[in-house]
């Protein structure tokens, strides 16, 4: 496991420990408070953080772009955890896609009769 993978895995472990059935206190833990509020609250934060990243990117301030991207990734990890998924699942999917052009992937979808992205 790389240093970066280890960071994501450690955060994912902390997220698991913040779930209601793990006994985390929503008054003490931001993550626990989001889990208690439920999926809609988690997804609302994902949407807000995505919008904040868009604004930071338009402003072109590198520190803010990094900070807002961290916020977005973090809240995406909470959304994954809500579904029992882990960052390793996303890394595996990215690894599977490595070297496959997006154009090539889309073309192969249309020859398979997948019209979901038309
Ligand atoms: N990486 C993070 C992290 N990034 C962002 N945040 C929080 O996510 C929230 C982002 O919301 P906003 O930027 O919109 O700020 P806000 O207006 O204060 O938030 P809201 O009131 O709208 O929810 C803030 O409260 C941030 O502090 C994080 N909270 C926790 N972590 C990690 O999660 C771990 C567990 O956190 P707790 O569950 O709080 O102990 C921590 O040790 C960290 O490793």
Query: Is residue 81 in some structural domain?
Result: yes
| C-beta 31 within 6 A of ligand 1 | yes
Q: What is the pTM of this model?
A: 0.91
DSSP label at 118?
-
Query: Is residue 78 in some structural domain?
Result: yes
Residue pLDDT, tens place only, 74-94: 999 999 999 999 999 999 999
Query: Is residue 59 in some structural domain?
Result: yes
Query: Is residue 61 in some structural domain?
Result: yes
Percent of the chain at pLDDT exceeding 90: 81
Residue pLDDT, tens place only, 53-66: 999 999 999 999 99
Q: How far apart are CA 14 and CA 1, in angstroms?
A: 18
51 CA from centroid of ligand 1 (Å): 16
| Confidence label for 115 from pLDDT (cuts 50, 70 and 90) | low
Single out the residue of 32, 76, 30 nearest to residue 50, CA to CA: 76
Query: Is residue 28 in some structural domain?
Result: yes
| C-beta 50 within 6 A of ligand 1 | no
74 CA from centroid of ligand 1 (Å): 8
Query: Is residue 42 in some structural domain?
Result: yes
Query: Is residue 43 in some structural domain?
Result: yes
What's the domain range around 10? 3-88
CATH number at residue 59: 1.10.287.1080
Q: Are 8 and 71 in contact (CB under 8 A)?
A: no
Report the number of distinct structural domains present in the chain. Answer: 1
pLDDT higher than threshold 70 for residue 21: yes
113 CA from centroid of ligand 1 (Å): 42
Query: Is residue 95 in some structural domain?
Result: no
């Amino acid at each position: 496991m790389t240093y970066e993978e280890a960071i994501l895995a450690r955060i994912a472990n902390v997220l698991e420990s913040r779930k209601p059935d793990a006994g985390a206190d929503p008054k003490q833990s931001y993550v626990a408070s989001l889990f208690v509020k439920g999926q809609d609250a988690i997804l609302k934060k994902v949407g807000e953080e995505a919008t904040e990243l868009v604004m930071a990117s338009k402003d072109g301030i590198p520190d803010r772009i990094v900070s807002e991207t961290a916020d977005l990734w973090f809240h995406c990890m909470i959304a994954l955890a809500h579904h029992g998924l882990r960052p390793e699942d996303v890394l595996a999917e990215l690894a599977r896609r490595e070297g496959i052009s997006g154009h090539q992937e889309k073309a192969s979808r249309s020859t398979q009769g997948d019209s979901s992205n038309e």
